[in-house]
Amino acid sequence: ARMNLQQPMPLQTTLMALCQEAAGVLRRRGFLSGKFGTELAVLFDAAMHGTVAEPDLRGFDPSRRVILIKERNRTGVFFDRSGTAESVLRAASEAASVFQPEYAQVFSLQSVGNAARFRVAAGPRATHGPTVRPPAVAGRFYPGDAAEMDRMLDELVGERPQPERFPACMVPHAGWRFSGRLAADVLKRIAIPEIVIAIGPKHTPHGVDWSVAPHHFWQLPGDRRVASDYALAQRLAARIPRLELDAAAHAREHGVEVELPIIQRLAPDTKVVGIAVGAGALEHCEQFADGLAEVVRSLPAPPLLLISSDMNHYANDAETRRLDAMALERFDALDPDGLFHVCRRHHISMCGLLPAVIVLKTLQRLGCLRRSVPVGYATSADATGDPTRVVGYAGRLVG
């Protein structure tokens, strides 16, 4: 199937291309002529019907029209001439794996052809990928040369104070030029345990919405690697709703990678399990925290839960500091619900908002959310000297 609701292509060209693709698939799979039937549906005349949360299906005729649901990079289509508007909507929602009904758009299209009933589900599928995840942002966010990386780590880490045990922390994940020193200032104060579970936002469109990296190792510049814990990644995916083992979501993601060389410098034997979190609501954070707390309780020793997050993006320096102060006030008050709502209400673009809410709620469930210790705050203007369009960075020790 091929769908384009905004820029329709010539029907003949589209149909010919789809037939050629279908013929190629059948040929590769060894199907013989005459051993199967063919159904064809041509869809046109798109109409909008609101969202899955608030659909308006007045005038929708299930005997003539299909329902198409689109939520970010997932699409579901369903047609059933003998169905009802409600049953077709429900089936299309299931095909689209709707996560947030209020953001899932509902369309209908007229169907012409000999297909009386069909279902189409399109979207990313989780992939396991390679055992070793290659570096994606070395040479851009941090040095791509091992010797140069070591020199910069020397500058960032400096002298290390006596480390203390903390169950969680928040570190920024911009390029080291902008926020590397603050990230190092946070991490060098922690007695880093054998396992770090690093949870950051999903910056790229690739892969599934909520993913745990399925790799056994993270490759760094030179011949260095940081080990992951594949068995733990499997357990997290099994216990946390909608979390999947997916390499595609991590292939170009920088939120975890930029912290790895710093962690390795401070704790060479530590294993890092990386999680990328896409969109979600507060209820999804609750479910995530339930599963994460269950897994953490089952471990022989508590891991470090690392929130990878920058603060507000691309306002001027004064406005960024004002907005970030509002978010950090709720963070330091150990109020995950308040943090979520203040960021949503005031449009504070803290990219790791969901990871922060998830970790704070997880610590609540574990009974170890007692304090937030500010380590530092900065904006990109501190590095560039340009206050017109900045990103905020905050460092916190939590527990």
- Encode pLDDT of 283-311 as tens digits: 999 999 999 999 999 999 999 999 999 99
For residue 397, report the phi and psi dihedrals to the nearest 5 degrees. -105, 135
Q: Write down the pLDDT at residue 1.
A: 57
The letter for the amino acid at 206 is H
Q: Do residues 225 and 218 touch, judged by C-beta distance below 8 A? A: yes
User: What is the spatial distance between Cα 50 and Cα 55, in angstroms, rounded to a whole number?
Assistant: 5
- Encode pLDDT of 48-91 as tens digits: 999 999 999 999 999 999 999 999 889 999 999 999 999 999 99
- Encode pLDDT of 196-236 as tens digits: 999 999 999 999 999 999 999 999 999 999 999 999 999 99
Alpha helix segments (H runs only) across the chain: 11-29, 85-95, 146-157, 181-187, 230-239, 248-251, 260-266, 282-298, 317-332, 336-345, 353-366, 381-384
From 261, 270, 256, select the one nearest 157 (Cα to Cα): 261
- Annotation: CATH topology of 132-398: Protocatechuate 4,5-dioxygenase; Chain B (3.40.830)
Phi-psi region of 158 (alpha: psi -120 to 50; beta: other; left: phi over 0): left
Q: Which residue has the tokens 């990644």?
A: 233
Residue 23 has pLDDT above 70, yes or no: yes
From 65, 103, 102, select the one nearest 84 (Cα to Cα): 65
To the nearest 10 degrees (0 to 180), the angle between helices 282-298 and 230-239 is 130
% of the chain beyond a pLDDT of 70 = 96
Q: How confident is the model at residue 147 (pLDDT cuts 50, 70, 90)?
A: very high
- Encode pLDDT of 302-354 as tens digits: 999 999 999 999 999 999 999 999 999 999 999 999 999 999 999 999 999 99
Q: Write down the pLDDT at residue 94.
A: 96
Q: Where, residue-wise, is CATH 3.40.830.10 in the chain?
A: 132-398
Q: Write down the pLDDT at residue 5.
A: 64
